Structure 1
Amino acid sequence: MTGLPPLGWLQAFEAAARTLSFTAAGHELGVTQAAISQRIRLLEDRLGQKLFVRHPRSLSLTPAGQAWLPSIQDAFMRLGEGTSEVFGGVVGDAQVTLRTTPVIQQNWLAPRLPAFQRAHPEIAVRLVSAIWPDDFGPEGADIEIRYGRGDWQGVDAVSLGEESMLPACSPTLAREIAEPSDLAGHTLLHAVGFAVGWPTWLEQAGQPGLEARCPSLTCDSQVMTLALAGQGGGVALTHRRLLEKRDDLVAPLSLAVPSDEGFWLVRPARRRPRAEAARLWEWLVGRVSS
């Protein structure tokens, strides 16, 4: 193999490897799923190795693909940084990309961002959704709001504050729940991926094992558990801050179990932020306690 593969092929690989979807990569790059598939096939032919394992309804990276991906992402990041440093105010510089989970977008950002837009109408904010920890990373985003312990490498991180978990449900259902034992028989809505779940909360409430006497419904995000809870579909365990701006949910019980995980504002540490991204960062930091 001589020379680098075409840039379009590398872009297709990076997007498909990050999303593990040719369709999602096509949407991101503005081309069809077939075009992404063709570029990946040409790239694999050029390299002489497979980069993806094609499953019936999903993709996974081969060991070669996993090993190569960080180098490609780092190269794109360095190319973007170099372009910004040399050319500065290129078209699109005023757009700031903010990536976070849908539940934070709906419950924390939505009540606050309109004020930023009114104060800075010249800055276009682009929101990008992420659900799983692997969805996050410095590539493609100026700022992120992540969930975890704040121990990520290579980033500046500002905590949104200490976090705790407590039950939430519709006002109608809340009338039936005066103490933890009243949860028996009610559907418990579980959101995966959090250190504090229903078993932990119930143990702290003096009701260990009560979840065995409750119907269970598990979702892959808090967006759905809160939506179900708001419709009277059960009781969700959620972060206290996510109840602040909602009128369809109440906390029927006061016990809030502290978590060593929380929400963090994050940006790449080694990248000098553009003026527009720095302005949004400073504005968000100022709203941490509001």
Structure 2
Amino acid sequence: MSALPPLLWLQAFESAARTLSFTAAGNELGVTQAAISQRIRLLEDRLGQKLFVRHARSLTLSPAGQAWLPSIHDAFARISEGTSEVFGVTSEQPVTLRSTPVIQQSWLAPRLIQLHHQHPHLSLRLVSAIWPDDFGPEGADIEIRYGRGEWSGVEMWPLGDEELLPVCSPRIAQGLTSPEALAGHTLLHAVGFGVGWPGWLQTAGVAHLEAECHALTCDNQVMTLALASQGGGVALTHRRLFEQRDDLVAPFSISVPTDERFWLVRPSRRHVSDEATAVWQWLQNAIA
């Protein structure tokens, strides 16, 4: 072979070979049984030999699998030892929390400061994601996702109902005495949301104004809010996020509801550490 198989495939083999169960391996790695089965099949195709003998209700290693397993165990042991030598040994694994940058900045940051003050022993690792495909059960203990909650294999807790409203810098707000005054201004669009500027303009009774406004589109709300705070236009954002900022004002009281919302999410099939459970429960209490 010219290259080693992907690490995810090797992890699937090591876990399945140790537990002799695709289901147990999936629980250990935080993925489905089907995902483990697929990775093993891809690995066997790459190697050109079967690694497992599949029985009706059980699983055993093939001769090739038995011969290869010690090398895989040694390889993972060397990686673990090398990691400890270079980066040190920690008594606990960090709790990985994944969310969009705007939620991290506007909602999560002040709460994590409170969490750290109350539980300084907890180790956290934050990971950013923007698009729906960035999310998933692998690699994260807890997530904050945005959508309608139509995900399988996870436990969900809503942050609450959402509504969107325009926000801008105080200087621009001085001239926005009514929705009609938006004519000629730049509307800052963040893609990926079910409700956007067309929905708000229609609710405000000025749908025709979209053709009279300039448009600037970004792939995330962090950028639209940054532009809005610096006088670059008027952004549409969630009231929950706006309430955490002091550099933006809402020139109108009109808001538009959306059936999408932010959710606290964690995989339902994964073994949950005590630290991850503590962070989950703390965030739930912070939402309540």
Q: Structure 2-normalised TM-score? A: 0.70
Q: In structure 2, the residue corresponding to 1:189 is in which secondary structure?
A: strand
In the alignment, does 2:164 pair up with 1:135?
Answer: no
In the alignment, does 2:264 pair up with 1:262?
Answer: no
CA offsets, 1:12-64, max 9 Å, x none? Answer: 9xxxxxxxxxxxxxxxxxxxxxxxxxxxxxx9x9469xxxxxxxxxxxxxxxx
Q: Tell me the number of residue pairs that the alignment of Structure 1 and Structure 2 aligns.
A: 216
CA distance in 1 between partners of 2:103 and 2:285 (Å): 17
1:72-221 equivalent positions in 2, closer than 5 A? 91=90, 93-221=92-220
CA distance in 1 between partners of 2:243 and 2:283 (Å): 17
Look at both structures and tell me which one has the larger radius of gyration over its CA atoms.
Answer: 2
Counterpart amino acid of 2:262?
F
Q: Is the 8 A contact 2:154 2:265 kept in 1?
A: yes
Which residue matches 2:223? 224
Counterpart amino acid of 2:216?
L
Q: In structure 2, the residue corresponding to 1:255 is in which secondary structure?
A: coil
Counterpart amino acid of 2:226?
A
Assess, with a 3 A threshold, how the Cα gap between structure 1 residues 97 and 9 changes in structure 2: closer, same or farther. closer
Q: In structure 2, the residue corresponding to 1:110 is in which secondary structure?
A: helix
The list of structure 1 runs, each at least 4 consecutive aligned residues, that deviate by more than 3 angstroms after superposition, is: 5-12, 45-48, 90-94
Q: Is the 8 A contact 2:157 2:263 kept in 1?
A: yes
Counterpart amino acid of 1:141?
A
CA distance in 2 between partners of 1:107 and 1:115 (Å): 14
Q: Give how far 1:8 is off.
A: 3.8
Assess, with a 3 A threshold, how the Cα gap between structure 1 residues 11 and 220 changes in structure 2: closer, same or farther. farther
Q: Is the 8 A contact 1:168 1:235 kept in 2?
A: yes
CA distance in 2 between partners of 1:157 and 1:8 (Å): 29
Q: Give how far 1:188 is off.
A: 0.2
Assess, with a 3 A threshold, how the Cα gap between structure 1 residues 223 and 255 changes in structure 2: closer, same or farther. same
Q: Percent identity?
A: 64
Assess, with a 3 A threshold, how the Cα gap between structure 1 residues 93 and 182 changes in structure 2: closer, same or farther. same
CA distance in 1 between partners of 2:47 and 2:210 (Å): 52
Which residue matches 2:273? 274
Q: Give how far 1:273 is off.
A: 1.2
Q: Is the 8 A contact 2:198 2:207 kept in 1?
A: yes
Assess, with a 3 A threshold, how the Cα gap between structure 1 residues 251 and 92 changes in structure 2: closer, same or farther. farther
CA offsets, 1:185-239, max 9 Å, x none? Answer: 1000000000111011101100112111011000000000000000010000010
Which residue matches 1:250? 249
CA offsets, 1:143-193, max 9 Å, x none? Answer: 000000112101110000000010000011111112111111100000000
Q: In structure 2, the residue corresponding to 1:252 is in which secondary structure?
A: coil
Counterpart amino acid of 2:99?
T
Q: Give how far 1:92 is off.
A: 6.0
Counterpart amino acid of 2:252?
L
Q: Structure 1-normalised TM-score? A: 0.70
Q: Give how far 1:112 is off.
A: 1.0
CA distance in 1 between partners of 2:114 and 2:172 (Å): 34
Structure 2 unaligned spans of 5+? 12-42, 49-88
